[in-house]
Structure 1
Amino acid sequence: MVHNDLPRSYLLIQCKNELNKMVEIERLPGNVPGAMINLNSGIEKLLERHAVKHNDVNDIKIKFSGDGTKVSRISNFVIFSISNMSTNGSLSFQEQQTFAIVECSETYDNLKKCCKPIFDQFNSVLSKKEWHIGEKTLNVEYFVSADMKFTQMLLGLCGATGEYAFPWCKVDKEGRSDLTRPWDYYHNPSIGRNIEDMLDGNLKKSFGCKHMPLLSLPVNHYVPDELHLMLRITDVLLRNLIDDAKEMDGDSKVRRMIPIHLKKIV
């Protein structure tokens, strides 16, 4: 029995087919679930919306972002997105777009195997500096923004505790805090990382490189995520504050005084 208020099944099928025609969904390789839309079409849609809203801005900055997230105890996802950074102010949902989701843990081997089509498309897009949208020609520059862990994996570097863990230069762990060097020492181009040297395959001379970089983007186009930096700095400051309060409370107990410093923080 079919009720008059229920839609016909063929109408639902037609609606589903029309929605599928709007995006080009591709399945990612490997044994883990994952899907992506075509990166070229995603960037083109961002540029089309930009051309309508900001007709006077022809220099575009496209940001490629990625991050891992833990959904449950046994479920991890890696999410990739692109966004338009050319306009001031906060990014609206129309200026950013998620184009790939992969159910896997955030490791170099998983990214290399499961996300190979994503990186192949992005590397091919890097050579396309001009996009023709209607009658306009837009000059596009590409950037990558991620937290430190994801940035190091994209560059094939060692972990944050490694000797040469800094993504942008070849200064070792002890040299980063050496205040005896002149102020312009770290501005010397000779200590900066070069993506060409990292891609030549000679990992022993690449200062902390364990794997080949997944992207051929220049290192100076990797931008650290300010939110993660702020949260990490806040964590360190808060930990120091708690340690100081516990130490002061310990001194208060020795002097047979009521410990109140930690309670003030809480």
Structure 2
Amino acid sequence: MSLNQNKYPENNPFMFKQSNTNYNYHIINKGFYPSNSKIYYTSARSHSGTKYKIPDNYLVQTSWGRGKSQHIIEYEIEYDSDGPVFRIRFNENSQHYVIESKESSTAVANNYLQDISLTTTNETPHISNQDIEEEISQYICKADYRRVNDILLFIIPDIVARNVLNVNNPVINVHISGDGCNVGRKIKHVMITCTILDDISNIHKADLHYTIILYLGGENYEMLQKKIKLYFSSDWKFMAIMLGFNAPNATYFCPWCLCTKKEIGNKDKMYKIEKNINQLKSEFFNDRISQTLNLPPLGHLKVPLLPMISLNHYVPDELHIMLRIWDRLWELVIQELKSENRFDNHVRAIINVEMQKISVDDKEKVLCDFNFEVIFDEEQAILINHLWRDFYTLYKLIKDRETDPTFFI
């Protein structure tokens, strides 16, 4: 990402380059700052608390792309009696359009991108200059969100028409998930989404997962602060953050029961959900200071970020469960081969050939069909094959909607 050497205001218009895209800017009117009694400021930057003045009567023309993919817009900020109005004007199919928002410049930009169905899947931001990164961060809205109710009002007619909901039991099961990602090398984002758990046949389609929270930053507790049943599902790390819970290698590692890591492998103990979300109220955490008896269960360090979700509705994502099982079983196989001093290129080649027969990219199929007789003697292979198939059976039971949850107790 770079700016051309002749920067504004010495050179107007000027160009801003990100990856393979050139953005051309022409400042038509730089505007002015209203009096101190009327001026508004941007949201504070998270790491410095700095706020920036929002000008009045500001107008800039921006263009990018070529040919049919070219976009030309005018971005304007104009104050009215209630504060600044952020406005984008553009032409499409010989029609003139105006989009505006009183929320923020990012909000009106998002509305514009949604209206023109702009896709940027071929662009890979690569931000490596700290000064530019800091400069960009001034203008990026730190967070935005949408109400789940607003999303439901939009999608309920469709799921009713497709008979997804049971009209005799009109309960909507909303699945909430989230994860963090790096855009380029340094800019981090976290996205939290929701989808309708009842629409089981389409639950893995990306376009049916609706973004409810998007913010610039990393995955950590501080950053993440009709009749609907809410569920939360993610990998273990993200779920533990949302619950304000211990690390998975801590003594008290289970979000649901009071077992300790010393009890792992104890087949004589009946494990069940022993905690509930009411034990994790904020006042119980405050009581740690006053040393009263109202303390949260051991292992819970902070107040859950989504206390409206019942603790037994926090569920590790089935995909991550399967991947963890898959990785752990392969670790055991490799350890066994190493203990026999047989983990060499010859064995690796045999494993590779066998996986190619099955489909190396389908981990579930490998879990189900890999035949260990190709690398172990018959007795060992029978035991290992049996172990892998048993875990595959458990994984299928997790996915089966008809499975009785008490089966796993």
Query: How far is the alpha carbon of 1:259 from its aligned partner?
Result: 6.5
For residues 37 and 110 of structure 1, the distance between their equivalents in structure 2, rounded to whole angstroms, comes to: 17
Between 1 and 2, higher relative CO (CA 8 Å, sep ≥ 6) is seen in: 1
Find out whether 1:88 has 2:170 as its counterpart: no
Call closer, same or farther: CA 1:172–1:56 in 2, change over 3 Å: closer
| Alignment equivalent of 2:153, drawn from 44, 49, 74 | 44
Find the counterpart in structure 2 of residue 219 from structure 1: 311
Find out whether 1:247 has 2:247 as its counterpart: no
**Do the aligned residues in 2 keep the contact of 1:36 with 1:100 (CA within 8 Å)?**
yes
Q: Structure 1, unaligned stretches of length 5 or more?
A: 24-30, 113-129, 131-138, 253-257
Find the counterpart in structure 2 of residue 153 from structure 1: 241
Q: Structure 2, unaligned stretches of length 5 or more?
A: 1-67, 74-88, 101-109, 115-139, 289-294, 353-409
Of Structure 1 and Structure 2, the greater helix share is in: 1
Find the counterpart in structure 2 of residue 12 from structure 1: 91
| Alignment equivalent of 1:111, drawn from 208, 224, 249 | 224
Query: How far is the alpha carbon of 1:111 from its aligned partner?
Result: 1.6
Find the counterpart in structure 2 of residue 126 from structure 1: none
Find the counterpart in structure 1 of residue 210 from structure 2: 97
For residues 231 and 55 of structure 1, the distance between their equivalents in structure 2, rounded to whole angstroms, comes to: 29
**Do the aligned residues in 1 keep the contact of 2:164 with 2:199 (CA within 8 Å)?**
no
User: What RMSD, in angstroms, separates the aligned Cα atoms of the two structures?
Assistant: 3.2
Call closer, same or farther: CA 1:148–1:16 in 2, change over 3 Å: farther
Q: How many residues align?
A: 218
Identity of matched residues, %: 23
**Do the aligned residues in 2 keep the contact of 1:246 with 1:262 (CA within 8 Å)?**
no
Find out whether 1:261 has 2:363 as its counterpart: no
Find the counterpart in structure 2 of residue 136 from structure 1: none
Find the counterpart in structure 2 of residue 162 from structure 1: 250
Find out whether 1:77 has 2:186 as its counterpart: no
Secondary structure in 2 matching 1:109? coil
For residues 96 and 33 of structure 1, the distance between their equivalents in structure 2, rounded to whole angstroms, comes to: 22
For residues 165 and 345 of structure 2, the distance between their equivalents in structure 1, rounded to whole angstroms, comes to: 63
Call closer, same or farther: CA 1:158–1:32 in 2, change over 3 Å: farther
Q: Deviations over 1:181-208 (max 9, x none)?
A: 3xxx224x6xx11111111324654111
Moved more, 215-224 or 98-107: 98-107
Secondary structure in 2 matching 1:223? strand
Find out whether 1:195 has 2:277 as its counterpart: yes
Query: How far is the alpha carbon of 1:262 from its aligned partner?
Result: 3.3
TM-score, normalization by structure 1: 0.69
Q: Which has the larger radius of gyration?
A: 2
TM-score, normalization by structure 2: 0.47
Call closer, same or farther: CA 1:52–1:246 in 2, change over 3 Å: same
Q: Deviations over 1:68-118 (max 9, x none)?
A: 223443232211111011133132456431222222111112223xxxxxx
| Alignment equivalent of 1:65, drawn from 177, 188, 204 | 177
